[in-house]
Amino acid sequence: MSVLFFPGRTTFAHERFLSDFPEIHSMSVIGVDVTSADLMYSSHSKRLIFCSGEKYMLELHRFLSVVPSYRYVREKWENEFSSGQNWQYRCRALASFNSRKRSKILRNWMDMSTYYCILCMSSFNVHYKRWKLVGEHIPCTPDYESIHSHAIKNSSRVLQYKRCEINTLPTTRIDNNTLIYFHIPNQYGYYGHTYQWNKSRLLHTLNELSTFAQEGYRVCISGLYDRRGLRMYKYEDLIPSDLFYPVFYPELKANRSTEVYYIANF
């Protein structure tokens, strides 16, 4: 189970993809605009580099890599959020988080656990309206065992966090044994404070990734290809076929959705 589940920005076929391309397990992986990072965490890669311009996303990943994080979350969730029942506390915590002085909000691991619980109070179905986080009251209980296992599993890896955009990736860290990975969100929207996913950002990101592929770097772009027959994007018009090769994975449980992984220089 993913400990960071962001609807519209998660993958369901990453383990099948890794099984088909086991060489990724021995590579370093750089994640561009990371969210749940399912593919990165599911790999056996010893070095993961998380890159994002989305505020607080890197802090969430860093927090969940700390072994005691599950205890911080459990203490907050069960005592202050009353196991998801304290709607009034949720409103107060959300109002505090949405303060314009939010730079002072996430100062330590207990603050991060509060933020994680705020996300759980909306089952991670959140979006941003300017600087304000918005979400309905549909609580889901944190999976403490998964959070604990996640931290233990990743304690032996080298995890690095870089606040950057696609055009400022740490290229000095990229070699022939490095994979540049990006997952395309299902739809446009305000996903984070100062982070808007729109057509302009889509075209810019894919153009930069195509440039990396053209220069010989290993690149992987994943995305939802269709859902119940409805195409998400016209990928063939966005991703150059002379650089990238598509691999398709129908959803096993219902076969109503298909995920695609475009790979270059494999």
- Give the model confidence (pLDDT) of 51-100 as tens digits: 998 878 999 999 999 999 999 999 999 999 998 888 888 888 888 888 86
Amino acid at 173: R
- Average pLDDT of the segment spanning 28-53: 94
Q: Give the model's pLDDT for residue 184.
A: 94
Pairing label, strands 245-250, 178-183: unpaired
Q: What are the structure tokens assigned to 86, written together?
A: 């304290």
Q: Give the model's pLDDT for residue 147.
A: 96
pLDDT at 26 over 70: yes
Domain boundaries, the chain: 14-55+156-264, 69-145
Q: Give the model's pLDDT for residue 100.
A: 62
Q: Give the model's pLDDT for residue 254.
A: 65
Q: Give the model's pLDDT for residue 103.
A: 62
pLDDT at 47 over 80: yes
| pLDDT digit string, tens, across residues 163-176 | 988 888 878 878 88
| pLDDT digit string, tens, across residues 175-188 | 889 999 999 998 88
Architecture of domain 14-55+156-264 in CATH? 3-Layer(aba) Sandwich (3.40)
Q: Give the model's pLDDT for residue 128.
A: 85
CA 225 vs CA 55, 105, 205: distances in Å: 27, 38, 18
Q: Mean pLDDT over all residues of the chain?
A: 90
pLDDT at 1 over 60: no
Q: How far is residue 224 CA from its own chain's centroid?
A: 14
pLDDT greater at residue 104 or residue 143: 143
**104 within 8 A of 87, measured Cβ to Cβ:** no
- Residue 3's pLDDT band, with cuts at 50, 70 and 90, is confident
User: CA torsion angle for 92, 95, 96, 99 (degrees, to 10)?
Assistant: -170
CA 236 – CA 117 distance, rounded (Å) = 40
pLDDT at 200 over 60: yes
**61 within 8 A of 161, measured Cβ to Cβ:** yes
Amino acid at 249: Y
**C-alpha count within 13 angstroms, C-beta hemisphere, residue 91:** 4
CA 180 – CA 221 distance, rounded (Å) = 8
pLDDT at 113 over 90: yes
- Average pLDDT of the segment spanning 109-116: 92
- Average pLDDT of the segment spanning 45-49: 95
Q: Please give the radius of gyration of the chain, using alpha carbons only, rounded to the nearest integer.
A: 18
User: CA torsion angle for 115, 117, 123, 126 (degrees, to 10)?
Assistant: -20
| pLDDT digit string, tens, across residues 209-262 | 999 999 999 999 999 998 877 888 888 899 999 999 999 999 877 668 899 999
E strand segments, 9-56: 28-32, 47-52
Q: Give the model's pLDDT for residue 131.
A: 76
User: What residues form DSSP beta bridges with 192?
Assistant: 195
- Residue 263's pLDDT band, with cuts at 50, 70 and 90, is very high
Render 166-220 in DSSP notation, one character per residue: GGG--GGG--TTEEEEEE--SS-EEEETTEEE-HHHHHHHHHHHHHHHHTT-EEE
pLDDT at 37 over 90: yes
